[in-house]
Amino acid sequence: MHRSTIRLAAVLIAATLAIAACGDDSKDATAGADAVPPASDTTAPAGPPVSGEPVVIGFVNSEGGAFSVPEMRVGSEVAESVVNEQLGGIGGRPLEIVRCATDGSPESSIDCANQLVEEGVVAVHLGTDLGSDALVPVLDDAGIPIIGHVQLGIAGMFDENSFYLGSAALAYGAAALQFYSDLGAETITWFFPDVPTSRVFTDTVLTPAATAMGIEYKSVYYDAASPNFPVLAATAASETPDVSGALAATDGQCAELISALRGAGYQGHILAASCVGLYDAVGDDAIGVHTDSDHWNPGDIESAPAAKQEDLELYAAAMRAADEEDLVEGNAVISFADTINIARILSTIEGAIDGSTVAAALRATTDFDAFAGPTITCDHTVIAGNSACAASMLFYEVQVDGSIRAVTEDFLDVAAALAPAG
């Protein structure tokens, strides 16, 4: 692996972005009173009966320590029922998911990996696990493929045995630059916590991509332990870039930054990462703010293509039937969609389903129409050597009624912008 590739991979902005996507107040993460699709008949028709030996996969998710995302487990549980009760299982066989919770530490991730190896799983699905790099060698040695969504570490980012069904972590920055370039922006300033990974991400991804697009780009760094958002906002207001805000932040940080920018009189576009619940948090100050996503949002079904609307309606109905309506717009949609995609990919396997055939099926997945997402290709060619199956993003805007609405008609694909030069 070239050193420049290692430096690019070393941007644990991946972890930061994942935290932004996961937020920190999932139970209250609604973007307006009418955002969730209205309840209708939640009794889904039964699908073909499943029978035979279950196809067993593992599920690892952080549910303790400083970072806990239990809604990812909920999405997995609800999707498991949908696969078995409505979608015919995996080639007619039932799907069985063995779950293991981590606390974000490498040790707990290793413990889960060893437990799932003993369980004989044919693959391990990662929800959100901050210690995921530690389980990579354990599962690689056992020949068990790893399936995730957002890349949370360097090892998984370039592991041949890993397949991430979401957009590459590195694509978040390039896609946002492209989005604002298309809007005519010439100057952009984003705020980042002052950690080495933020600076590496700026130097290796954001600045080169912005230069190629003719954008004058600047990162402003703040103390991660005690950000002073009024000071940051005053900087933006005085320098008047066309775009400001944060590419990586928690929901609470997004809310504070938006309020500070509005209070300082900043008039440009504001990006609030993948944050949710902004209108609930800051009211009218959130109107016009942009957010990003690597999947269609269940809070804005009308903007999605017809087939994706059906996906989102299936998801919302299943969550309501499981009495989890308050989580419809949270992170549960990610693990739900991943589980559906895994079942569909594994259903293409003829004969024995084991670690090697699952890995082969994933590598053979090209131009696959992902549930509520873009077309994905998992043979590690979207970005050369990278385990992500996509490099594309959607952008949304908070409306005057507090809802969100897509402002890109389709996914912005930035794989070409992330290809190595030469």
Report yes or no: 280 and 254 within 8 Å, Cβ to Cβ. Answer: no
Question: pLDDT tier at 79 (50, 70, 90 boundaries)?
Answer: very high
Please give the residue range of the domain that contains residue 233: 171-298+395-418
- pLDDT at residue 17 tops 50: no
* Helix pair angle (355-363, 332-346), 10° resolution: 100
Question: Which pLDDT value is given to residue 273?
Answer: 87
**50 domain residue, yes or no:** yes
Query: Is the domain of 137 the same as that of 189?
Result: no
Q: What percent of the chain has pLDDT over 90?
A: 72
In terms of domains, do 125 and 26 share one? Answer: yes
Tens digit of each residue's pLDDT (9 = 90 or more) over 313-350: 999 999 999 999 999 988 899 999 999 999 999 999 99
Residue 69 has pLDDT above 90, yes or no: no
* Structural Rg of the chain based on CA atoms: 21
Q: Which of 4-18, 114-128, 293-307 has the lowest mean pLDDT?
A: 4-18
Residue 163, pLDDT > 70, answer yes
Examine residue 2 and state whether it is found in any structural domain, yes or no: no
Q: Note the pLDDT of residue 151.
A: 87
57 beta partners:
97
pLDDT, residue 5, reads 26
Can you spell out the DSSP letters for 235-267? HHHHH--SEEEESS--HHHHHHHHHHHHHTT--
Inside any domain, residue 11: no
**Same-domain status, 38 and 179:** no
pLDDT of residue 250: 80
Q: Is residue 97 part of a domain?
A: yes
As to burial, measured by CB atoms within 10 angstroms (0-12 exposed, 13-18 middle, 19+ buried), residue 394 is buried
- Confidence (pLDDT) at 420: 66
One domain, residues 84 and 215? no
**% residues pLDDT > 70 (the chain):** 89
In the chain, how many domains are there?
2
Mark whether 368 and 255 lie in a shared domain: no
pLDDT at 44: 64
73 shares a domain with 87: yes
Inside any domain, residue 343: yes
Residues sharing a CB contact under 8 Å with residue 255, sequence separation 6 or more, in sequence order: 275, 277, 278, 281, 282
Ramachandran category for residue 262: left, alpha or beta (phi over 0 → left; psi -120 to 50 → alpha)? alpha
pLDDT by residue (tens digit) across 28-48? 333 333 344 444 444 567 778
Measured distance between the N- and C-terminal CA atoms of the chain, rounded to whole angstroms:
16
Could you tell me if 30 and 119 lie in one domain?
yes
Are residue 262 and residue 349 in the same domain, yes or no?
no
Within 10 Å of residue 378's Cβ, how many Cβ atoms?
A: 25
406 and 287 housed in the same domain: yes
**Residue ranges with strand state E in 149-280:** 162-167, 187-193, 216-222, 243-246, 269-272
- Residue 60 sits in a domain of what CATH number? 3.40.50.2300
CB 395 within 8 A of CB 408: yes
Euclidean distance between CA atoms 208 and 202, whole angstroms: 8
Do 124 and 191 have their domain in common? no
pLDDT digits (tens, 9 = 90+) for 255-274: 999 999 999 999 999 999 88
In a domain, 3, yes or no: no
Mean pLDDT of 301-312: 97
Task: Fill in the DSSP letter of residue 149.
Answer: S
Say whether both 335 and 403 belong to one domain.
no
pLDDT of residue 372: 98
Of 191-205, 367-381, 405-419, which range is least confident?
A: 191-205
Write out the two tokens for 303.
């903007």
Residues 275 and 341 in one domain: no
Q: Is the pLDDT of residue 19 over 80?
A: no
Backbone angles phi, psi at 193, to 5 degrees: -60, 140
